[in-house]
Amino acid sequence: MYTSPCPTSFVTSLVRVEGTTSREKKVIWEWLSRKDTFTKGQIPPYRVEFFDDDDPFFHEGTYNNHHGPFLHLPAYVTEMKDEEFREMRYLYGSYVLGFGIIRPTALKIFLEESNEQTKVVIELHAHVRPIMKKLWERMNHFFWNRFFFPYLNKIVL
């Protein structure tokens, strides 16, 4: 799949965070595959919008836009493997803080099951200004560990 090249004044960033839950892999996958997981309880003015609202689940080709102040993340799902993997590619023009600061390129989610535990791995790929790389990566580790992984054991479908 095509990815925009890294501009010469940027560097690549890969944030990889993981967490485990006692919930079954299929329950976690269904929760991550539901669009309303990402639209319920949105904090204004930030929003996630989907272009094909008739289907309640993600599928290959699903277009969405996560947007708000200092955030513009139009994307589409490029690949899905049931209960294992989802890749979403951000379109050219996506940014966090500003187009000249952080440009996310892909979000990948992996699920693995072993010993009655489900491991969820998040990978966020981006092009960032060198001066922002450490801060960007620390902010993402904080965000995912504080606002995503603690809820995996509380999922109710």
Instruction: Assess if residue 1 is contained within a domain.
Output: no
Number of domains in the chain: 1
Q: Is residue 3 part of a domain?
A: no
Smallest CA-to-CA distance from 145 within 35, 20, 33 is with 20
What domain range includes position 34? Answer: 11-154
Q: For the chain, what's the residue count?
A: 157
Q: What is the pLDDT of residues 85-131, one digit of tens each?
A: 999 999 999 999 999 999 999 999 999 998 899 999 999 999 999 99
Distance of alpha carbon 118 from alpha carbon 115, whole angstroms? 8
Does residue 6 form part of some domain?
A: no
Residue 5 inside a domain? The answer is no
Burial class (CB in 10 A: 0-12, 13-18, 19+), 138: exposed
Residue 45 domain-assigned (yes or no):
yes
pLDDT at 38 over 60: yes
Map residue 59 onto helix, strand or coil: coil
Residue 2 lies in a domain: no
Band (1; pLDDT cuts 50, 70, 90): low
Please report whether residue 82 resides in a domain. Answer: yes
Comparing CA positions, the residue from 10, 5, 1 lying closest to residue 127 is 10
What pTM was computed for the model? 0.93
Q: What pLDDT is attached to residue 41?
A: 83
CATH number at residue 59: 3.30.530.20
